[in-house]
Amino acid sequence: MKICSNCVLPETFPGISFDSKGVCNFCQEFKGKEYLEKEKAKYLQKFQELLGRFKNSSSYDALMAYSGGKDSTYTLSLLKEKYDLKILALTFDNGFLSEQAFKNIRQVVENLGVDHIFFKPDFSLLKKIFLTGTKDDIFSRKTLDRASTICTSCMGIVKFTTLRLALEKKIPFITYGWSPGQAPISASIFKNNPSMLKGMQNAIKEPLFRIAGEKINPYFLEERHFEQKEDFPYNISPLAFLEYAEEKIFKKIEKLSWNMPVDTDSNSTNCLLNSFANLVHKQRFGFHPYAFELAKLVREGYLEREEALKRLEQAEDQNTVELVKKKLNLN
Ligand SMILES: [Zn+2]
């Protein structure tokens, strides 16, 4: 299979083309590291301005969507220790968190001294949604470029559950641990507004509603939330504009008693479902759902190309895949 000679995007990736040197159109469009550094400085300044305006304006400064993975653990530590924010961390238990991830989460929130909530929705409902995601493409074609259908449905519920809690608790910032490969710098800080959210919510909620009906309502915003007069929270992905180096991240979080799970795949440090979702996606579309993210990390100098290729080529752990299938009654 042909793969971009600069990043790691394969010829099966939607909308890809190559020049005579085998460099993909996404690499050709990249404005360069110098430009990126300037943008990062701009967003860091914006972040500091927002902290000045909103810090200490509510009982919590930030609601952290905390998966327990390496990037969100690192983000949580930065927000607490470097920026001294009052944080409420929220972990969504989709039924497939690795046992080590549970241990990590408990250790890290204790060591950092932050408030934390585990939220576990009715598993029969999630199961129905994940099972449909293994067979059907329930979301727009575009979403499949960057994540599997299963991941997108899970993350959709996470995003809107988090937003709902932030609105109800009047927390000014929602923070995510997206890597620079997942969050483009231009989307690393934005203010939510009702009309934009309605569109985003419909794109996720309507397909899920068709699968599971009204039972999904508690995970999304209701009319009263959209009508709320107060300010809507900002979404912030600090790793897009702060330093991002995996080696440093592991060094830091190990000090918080975070240990690498042994049962997850190389693209996730918390979720077992991920391996299965990746496998389904690859079989259906012929490219890895992490290809876009890893390609971006390579292009922007955060990750060695060889390492990215290794992660994309790594086969899913058969035991993990079997465990997931069993829990979804797919055997
Ligand atoms: Zn490329």
How far away, in angstroms, is 180 Cα from ligand 1 center? Answer: 16
How far away, in angstroms, is 10 Cα from ligand 1 center? Answer: 9
How far away, in angstroms, is 99 Cα from ligand 1 center? Answer: 36
How far away, in angstroms, is 181 Cα from ligand 1 center? Answer: 13
Query: Based on the domain organization, do 235 and 266 belong to the same domain?
Result: yes
pLDDT of residue 19: 98
Query: Based on the domain organization, do 119 and 13 belong to the same domain?
Result: no
What gap in Å lies between CA 268 and CA 275, rounded to an integer?
Answer: 8
How far away, in angstroms, is 27 Cα from ligand 1 center? Answer: 4
Query: Based on the domain organization, do 117 and 10 belong to the same domain?
Result: no
Query: Based on the domain organization, do 213 and 69 belong to the same domain?
Result: yes
Q: Which alpha helices (H) appear in the chain, and where do they start and end?
A: 25-29, 33-54, 70-77, 99-112, 123-135, 149-169, 194-212, 223-226, 246-254, 273-285, 291-299, 305-313, 318-327
How far away, in angstroms, is 45 Cα from ligand 1 center? Answer: 30
Give the residue among 310, 289, 286 at the shortest CA–CA distance from 298: 310
Query: Based on the domain organization, do 44 and 160 belong to the same domain?
Result: yes
The pLDDT tens digits for 135-158 are 999 999 888 899 999 999 999 999
The pLDDT tens digits for 201-249 are 999 999 999 999 999 999 999 999 999 877 899 999 999 999 999 999 9
Query: Based on the domain organization, do 4 and 55 belong to the same domain?
Result: no
Query: Based on the domain organization, do 78 and 187 belong to the same domain?
Result: yes
What is the extent of the structural domain holding 318?
36-327
How far away, in angstroms, is 4 Cα from ligand 1 center? Answer: 5
Query: Based on the domain organization, do 81 and 171 belong to the same domain?
Result: yes
Query: Based on the domain organization, do 16 and 67 belong to the same domain?
Result: no
How far away, in angstroms, is 247 Cα from ligand 1 center? Answer: 24
How far away, in angstroms, is 62 Cα from ligand 1 center? Answer: 35
Assign residue 71 the CATH number of its domain.
3.40.50.620
Say how many domains are in the chain.
Answer: 2
Instruction: Return the structure tokens found at 94.
Output: 């989709």
Query: Based on the domain organization, do 10 and 45 belong to the same domain?
Result: no
Give the predicted TM-score (pTM) of the model.
0.95
Query: Based on the domain organization, do 160 and 14 belong to the same domain?
Result: no
Structure-derived torsion over alpha carbons of residues 267, 269, 273, 274, reported in degrees to the nearest 10: -10
Query: Based on the domain organization, do 22 and 139 belong to the same domain?
Result: no
